[in-house]
Structure 1
Amino acid sequence: MIIHYTKDINLNHNTITLTGDEAQHCAKVLRKRMGEDIYVTDGEGALHSCKIIEISKTECKAEIFNTLQQSKRLYDLTISICPTKKQSRIEWFLEKAVEIGVSRIILTQTQRTEKSRLKEVRLHKIVVAAMKQSKNLYLPQVITNQNWNDLIQCNDYGDKYIAHCEDPKTHLAKICGPAQDCIVAIGPEGDFTTQEIKLALELGWKEINLGSSRLRTETAGVVVASVLAQINM
């Protein structure tokens, strides 16, 4: 099943409209025609079964004839992660984290973060593609350029964990339980500074490790998503 994504959904008239890349893929790659069925999500858990009523290379309109609502996962996971020097590595993380399951990704600026400018449109496309491929029909939120000192004072994301390389004793899997909302912070290449860790702990964050191996930033993020998915199976 190939799933399309759009926010242009008119539930009053039971119609959807695909534009841009989604319309081009439907018309030029899949070669869909009037009267054929397509599947469309709004990124908020709905899967609409639709029949095409108009189609061109730039726009596709379809009528909704059935809608299924996907249940939300039992836990809300936010991963705070620092952009890597090579954007391709953080793009890989975004793709894999969305496929495994994550509610929110916060790209955070710390003292040792090496990259601040990101191609946000490209990141959005990667997240949308991963959502559609994995059939996780809730589009994760991506927040960019978040200041670390502001983030650690926020209490909006559940229990707060910071993974760092200064030998914390407790593994994430031993401290985080099923159906538990949480945020896990991953440091930059070179790790958080001692002062950044100290300040987070003073504000109620709990330090955790992700195993005995020293991981790259993007690998650590994928491990976090995998551990939480395993806990909640």
Structure 2
Amino acid sequence: MHLFYTADIEPHHKQFILSEEESKHAVRVLRLVQGDKVQLIDGRGGWYDATILDPHPKRTVLHIDAVETNYKESSYSLHVAVAPTKNIDRIEWFLEKATEVGIQEISPIISAHSERKEVKVDRLNKVVISAMKQSLKAYMPKVNPAITFTQFLKQQSTVEGVTKMIAHCEDGTKSYLADVCKPKEKYLILIGPEGDFSTEEIQQALAAGFQPISLGDNRLRTETAALMSCLEASVLNR
């Protein structure tokens, strides 16, 4: 199977021309020829079966044979707001695995103990696109620009219909995600940096309606905790 990400394709298209980059990959690298079958995804749930009409290295022309919208649409929605790690490779690892497991939105948040203050969304999107193609998904998770913890809470204050949770390491009464959430709903989880959220940040989140949750007895790295939340949500909705 040869799968291409084509964000600008639409379900009504009968033909489509691959970008120069994708055309070069199809013709020069994969050595595809006229009549070969390929698949396209648009990142919005569209899955397209196509046939190569003209294998040009700069503008490969495809005939669209069949279209399936809402391809393998998730029954739930998960938004993880996570403090980016000092080593950006760890967050990229999380994005790759979260895309494979299932996630709809990722927000990098800068908190009091964050060691990294900025991220390059374009770079993170490349990781997501690659993972989306590798796992044969038609929906591309949304990666938001990094904002501060306080800005994020303010941004989410008007969002309704979402179960909001914060995973932190301080002592106190906490529930497990499966005890807080119901299947087929919308979830938002806050995951802190290696040094955890500050006490003030935890209190701010609780005051904003976030419920404290536990991801188990073990102390987890930021990227591991973020992935655990994806796994628990996936199992809950299996």
User: Hey, what does 1:143 align to over in structure 2?
Assistant: 144
Structure 1 77/10 Cα, relative in aligned 2: closer, same or farther at 3 Å? closer
Normalized against structure 1, the TM-score is what? 0.94
**Which residue does the alignment assign to 1:127?**
128
Residue of structure 2 in register with 1:110 after alignment = 111
User: How many angstroms apart in 2 are the aligned matches of 1:10 and 1:163?
Assistant: 39
- The Cα of 1:85 is off from its aligned counterpart by 0.3
Give the aligned partner of residue 191 of structure 1: 196
Distance in 1, matches of 2:232 and 2:12, equals: 41
Q: Which amino acid aligns with 2:65?
A: F
Where structure 1 has 5 or more consecutive residues not aligned to the other structure, the ranges are: none
TM-score by length of 2: 0.92
> For residue 57 of structure 2, what is the amino acid of its counterpart?
K
Residues 186 and 20 of structure 1: CA distance in aligned 2, closer, same or farther (over 3 Å): farther
Q: Which residue of 2 aligns with 1:159?
A: 163
SS in 2 for 1:222: helix
The equivalent residue for 1:42 is 42
- Aligned CA-pair RMSD: 1.6
SS at match of 2:49: strand
How far off its partner does 1:136 sit? 2.0
- Size of the alignment, in residue pairs? 233
Letter in 2 for 1:54: D
* 8 Å CA contact 1:8, 1:16 repeated in 2: no
Bigger mean CA deviation after superposition, 7-16 or 195-204? 7-16
Answering whether residue 232 of structure 2 is matched by residue 227 of structure 1, we say: yes
Structure 2 segments unaligned to the other structure (5+ residues) = none
Deviations 1:144-176 (A, max 9, x none): 212211222314371110000013421112211
Contact 2:11/2:46 (<8 A) preserved: no
Q: CA deviation at 1:110?
A: 1.0
Deviation at 1:55, TM superposition (A): 2.6
Tell me the alpha carbon deviations over residues 54-109 of structure 1, each in whole angstroms, 9 at most, x when there is no partner: 23333322110111221421111000001100111100000000000000011111
